[in-house]
Amino acid sequence: MFFYLHIPFCRQKCQYCKFALTPRFNALKVRTYIDVLKKEMWSFFAENPVVSIETIYFGGGTPSILTSGQVSEILGIFQIQKGFVDISEITLESNPEDITDEYL
């Protein structure tokens, strides 16, 4: 199974972009969104306990707007639920300006 996580935040909306996103955001909006996303993930796994996830994809928006800690929080749910046993790929769309050694 392919698990898509939509992160609808960007620093600005590009002229060519047709995606659902929020170009104006702050830390509280992001935190609230992550908390709701995590609740939805817990609900999904409660309703689908035997699902096999092979790919996790963070799309957006610009998912690299999240802190490495926020990404770890989200991935932690997969680790608790699935132990990363079947997961062969994790992809996070990113803006090169957001990526640091710590982030990687």
Please provide the average confidence, as pLDDT, over all residues in the chain: 87
Q: Retrieve residue 28's tokens.
A: 């509280």
12-26, 56-70, 82-96: the lowest-pLDDT one: 12-26
pLDDT of residue 71: 95
- pLDDT at 83 (0 to 100): 66
Using an 8 Å Cβ cutoff, are 39 and 73 in contact?
Answer: no
pLDDT digits (tens, 9 = 90+) for 35-57: 999 999 999 999 988 788 889 99
- Say if residue 12's pLDDT is above 90: no
Please compute the mean of the pLDDT values over residues 24-33 and round it to a whole number. 89
Spatial separation of the C-alpha atoms in residues 55 and 50, rounded to whole Å? 15
